[in-house]
Structure 1
Amino acid sequence: MVSAVFHSPRDAVALPSGSAPAPASRPAAVPEARPRPPRRAIDWQAIALRVLPPVLSLALLLGLWALATQKGGSFPTPAQTWEAATQLFADPFYRKGPNDVGIGWNILNSLGRVGVGFGLAALVGIPLGFVVGRFEFANRMVSPLIALLKPVSPLAWLPIGLLAFKSANPAAIWTLFICSIWPMVVNTAVGVQRVPTDYLNVARVLRLSEWRVITRILLPAVLPYVLTGVRLSVGTAWLVIVAAEMLTGGVGIGFWVWDEWNNLNVAHIIIAIFVIGIVGLLLEWALMALARHFTFDED
């Protein structure tokens, strides 16, 4: 006897006729990992074009120098100059007297004079450039003076400074001031004159004061020109200080070169030439990087 088992209607699931049971659910698909972007290949050609030319020029200079000093004489060879440089920079900040100091102190003293002379020139030259570029009357009044005084040799100003200040250090700073002011005046004035007239017309419509025109419109537009003038002025000041210190004496890289010449130490003079060039190059690079940071492309 077969017993029938009855289930509750709740337990029964009705299937449509002819339909198969539902398949088992598949697991959720795992998203595939995105492939990493390929690494950029090193452009060896670009690196070679950037590195090789200066290396080759330096090697050519050293080769010509070695050939010129091969037969001996009073001019030192590259090896002798290198040996003198290692001894010189072993203690660059020694002090043995008021004027007998290491080359490091001489460089710092020269940079200090350059900073003071250039700073005074910037305080006067940049505002003067804004005035010259902004107002036609000031432009006509100052332009003849710039054309007259700008070509004067730096050393021609040194006796005037000695006569006026009765001291070598202020005279050197005066020479730096008068020689480094002109690039800032000229470049700032040119930048102001090249500001689009639409900007100034908007300022007139809004009835902005002259101070707001300078600070809100002119200064942002003229800043790249100002920095170019600053870069040229610093280079000029670094050139002038060497010649000025040769004549005024004291502690500085220019006086140090002249003192080594009096001692007939040609190797130290060559070292000073390289040091002056390297310091000027570092100043140039720093100011160019600053100028690129504040320069924008006009669309």
Structure 2
Amino acid sequence: MAVTSKRLPKSAYARPKESIWKNENFLAFALFIASLIVFLGGWEISARIGILANMPTASLTLKELWWWTTNPFFDNGPNDLGIGWNLLISLRRVAIGYLAASCVAVPLGILIGISPIARKGFNPFIQLLKPVSPLAWLPLGLYVLRDSEQTGVFIIFISSIWPTLINTSFGVANVSKEYLDVAKTLGASSFRTIFKVIIPAALPNILSGLRISMGIAWLVIVAAEMLLGTGLGYFIWNEWNNLYIPNILVAILIIGLVGLILDSCFAAVEKFVAFGRK
């Protein structure tokens, strides 16, 4: 006698639907929204009743933010540019200085990580120059280069080179000796070993250094531009001279948002590289 099996409907195999109140992403988003409402509400009330002396209200700041983001590219002269133009100027300076620093820091970091002689030879320079505040280079840059644009790029270069250099050399120096032994056993040349073994193995550390360097570059350019003219830093300084604090807060919010976007891009690349190594 043949025995027939009765298939259960697909719903019988389906997992029970998780409650939205147990979803980690939803709870995190809800917490963010709630804390934002509390922050803005506390800011508004404190400014209106005088607890925050001379501080503009949250509603006025958001109104100015809306105006600047909907009118970002007007040009009424060098001292009256839309915030979009100032943002592009700052990003241009950061991009040039950051890319130049990366092109120097990554190869030099690989060399230092591979060679003990290079590590000992360059380490005094790194330890001497790394602690110097980027703004300490500003007067020297202005005096030597005699150009605010080139000085801004120089400041970004000198401030963003160290995290990438140090992280790259650390990652290369700590590549597993087993990987190197396997490459040597297979007869790989030094050039091939560097590009096929050492760099891929050290890539997470290199990306971490690049991510830190970008954060420092974006942090430094705003301070440097207060003396260079044009850019978001100059926008803040100009609004301070006009004694209009809401526009300063608008610029601070935009700087924070752009920094968040840049950091999120690097975080996504780091996550992709880490996933690929599993």
TM-score for the superposition, normalised by structure 2 = 0.90
Measured after TM superposition, the shift of residue 70 of structure 1 is 2.0
Q: Which of 212, 224, 240 pairs up with 1:232? A: 212
Q: Which of 254, 261, 266 pairs up with 2:240? A: 261
Equivalent position SS for 1:264: coil
Equivalent position SS for 1:89: helix
Q: Which of 31, 49, 58 pairs up with 1:71? A: 49
Measured after TM superposition, the shift of residue 84 of structure 1 is 1.8
Measured after TM superposition, the shift of residue 54 of structure 1 is 2.2
Deviations 1:134-166 (A, max 9, x none): 000011111221111111111001112112211
Equivalent position SS for 1:225: helix
**Distance between the aligned counterparts of 2:109 and 2:242, measured in 1?**
45
Measured after TM superposition, the shift of residue 260 of structure 1 is 0.6
Q: Which amino acid aligns with 1:273?
A: I
Measured after TM superposition, the shift of residue 192 of structure 1 is 0.6
Q: Does 1:59 align with 2:28?
A: no
Look up the match of 2:153: 173
Q: Does 1:247 align with 2:189?
A: no
Alignment of 1:263-278 (within 5 A): 263-278=242-257
Measured after TM superposition, the shift of residue 48 of structure 1 is 4.2
Equivalent position SS for 1:198: helix
Look up the match of 1:12: none
Look up the match of 1:20: none
Measured after TM superposition, the shift of residue 32 of structure 1 is 5.4
Look up the match of 1:141: 121
Structure with a larger share of its residues in helix? 2
Q: Which amino acid aligns with 1:269?
A: I
Deviations 1:203-225 (A, max 9, x none): 22233222111101001101111
Look up the match of 1:35: 10
Query: 4+ residue runs of structure 1 moved beyond 6 angstroms?
Result: none
TM-score for the superposition, normalised by structure 1 = 0.84
**Distance between the aligned counterparts of 1:147 and 1:62, measured in 2?**
43
**Distance between the aligned counterparts of 2:66 and 2:262, measured in 1?**
24
188-197 or 64-73, which deviates more: 64-73
State the identity %.
41
**Distance between the aligned counterparts of 1:277 and 1:118, measured in 2?**
18
Point out where structure 2 has 5 or more consecutive residues left out of the alignment. none
Look up the match of 2:271: 292
Measured after TM superposition, the shift of residue 94 of structure 1 is 1.1
